[in-house]
Structure formats: structure tokens, C-alpha cells
Structure 1
Amino acid sequence: MRTRIAPFAMTAVLLGGVAAAATTGPASASEPKANVAIQSCYGTAKNYTSTPGSSGRNAHWPATGTYAYTTKNCADINLKVKATRQVTTCFKATGKCNGWKTATAGKWMQAATDVKDGSGFYIQFKGAARSAGQIAY
């Protein structure tokens, strides 16, 4: 009896595994996971208008002396500017800014990547002119 139960049990286990494998698959074959995360992040985007600079001072967002804080919504700090600008992201914890990057009008760009949740930051826009657009972080 023992030898007959084992083959039947093994067959049932194998068939169950095949059925489970057939019913599970990628979350969405048409949309990679990374794209879903990016879309979710951009879905939390806010409109912004920077504070203008003055003689010798760059425009920045948010207001002078304040910081925005990253959220769990996005792994990066993302900008979509209305007019092409040079931007840099500055961090409260280190007091340092990353390098200047070009933000092209109407296109999302990563102003900073792999930023820890809860990090204080502000964005500088090269030149005194205000900047407007969307930001997701």
C-alpha cells in the first residue's frame, strides 16, 4: 500500500504545481513593474513655481530657507519644467548640492536619484528667472 500512495501523492503534487504555475504570471505582461512605479510616482506630482533669484542668486524651490521632504511615493526627485533650465538639487543633511543637469521643457527628468525617504532638499534653477512646472518626489 505504501508504494501505491507515494506515486499518487507525487502525481497530485506535480499537477498542483503545474496548475499554480499556469495561473500565476507577471503582474501585467504589457507593463513592466518599473513603468508602473514611475507612473505611480508621477501621479503624485505637484505643480510648482519657484521663488525668483536676485542679482547673483539663483531661483529656487521651495521658498527661501525651507525644504521639501522626499516621500515613499518616488525613489527619485523628478522635475518637468515648462522652460528648459539648468537645475541642481541641494540636501539639508549634507548642506551640499549635486551637479547641474539640464531639465528639458515638457519632459520628466531625474533631478536626484535613489534618495532616502524623508530627506530634506531644495532645487536651484540657474539664473534669477522663476521656474514653473511639475515636481514628484
Structure 2
Amino acid sequence: MRMHTRIVPLAMTTALLAGGTAAMATGAAGAAEPKGDVTAQSCYGSARNYTGTPGGPGRNAHWPATGTYAYATRNCTDINLKVNYTRDVRVCFKNTGQCNGWKKAKKGVWKVAASNVRDGAGFYIQFKGANRSTGKIAY
């Protein structure tokens, strides 16, 4: 009888430990699961502030500075903007000399200005109108 009382608590302890381990593993897996698009999260995590260069009569504002290009990185597959004021934007590429179509970027909301951009591609952003633009950019 004495041996029986030791086995039952030992068996219960083993069962509780196994259940606790399973619960911990499930909890850890649940905690590791991404919330939303992991690529977008890591891309936006590399975002930085930008201040565009104002345009002039008949010239749109742009970023980066006149005559320079930014270069796409591995951080993002797209060029993303979060503008401080709603603007129409487009991306122009160094190698082709072509710009994509205008897109409306709304204040405080991430906007994909160009998608599936090759790593290392040179580009600049145009903002419709002469007023400079400020906000965040991730590319």
C-alpha cells in the first residue's frame, strides 16, 4: 500500500509536467507566430524619415536631392511611403529613365509607391506639385 501511494503521486506529477511542457510549447509557438505580413513588418522596421526637395515653376518636388538616386535594398521588395500630408506620388527609375503611374498616398498610411523592385535599382520619388514632402520611406 505504501508503494502504491508513491506511484500515484509520481504518475500525477509526470502527467502534470508533460501537460505543462505541452502547454509551454504551445504557448511558445503561439508567441512566435507572426501577426500580419512578416516581410512588411521587417521592411517598415527599416523605414527612415525623409524630407523631399521642393519643385519650382512646372517642376515637381522630389526625393532624394536633385541629381541623386536612392538604391533599393534587400529590406523590402517594394518602395513604401508614409507621407505627412496626402500627396500624389510616383517612382522614377535610373536604368530605364521611366516613371510609374501616379498613386495617391494618404496622410499617415503606408502606400506602396512601386512594387517588386529589384535590389540595387536606382530610383527617385516625385511628388505632384512644387511643395516639398516629408514622412517615412522604406525600400
TM-score (norm 2): 0.76
Question: What aligned pairs does 1:1-137 form with structure 2 within 5 A after superposition?
Answer: 28-29=32-33, 31-32=35-36, 35-137=37-139
Deviations 1:67-104 (A, max 9, x none): 00000000000000000000000000100000000000
* Secondary structure in 2 matching 1:64: coil
- Please, which runs of 5 or more residues in structure 1 have no aligned partner? 1-22
TM-score (norm 1): 0.77
Aligned residue-pair number: 113
* Secondary structure in 2 matching 1:37: helix
What is the alpha-carbon distance in structure 1 between the residues aligned to residue 45 and residue 102 of structure 2?
Answer: 26
Aligned-residue offset at 1:31: 2.6
- Which ranges of 4 or more aligned residues in structure 1 deviate by more than 2 Å? 25-32
CA RMSD between the two structures: 1.9
The AA in structure 1 aligned to 2:81 is L
Deviations 1:84-127 (A, max 9, x none): 00000000010000000000000001000000000000000000
Aligned-residue offset at 1:37: 1.2
- Please, which runs of 5 or more residues in structure 2 have no aligned partner? 1-25
Q: In percent, how many aligned pairs have the same letter?
A: 66
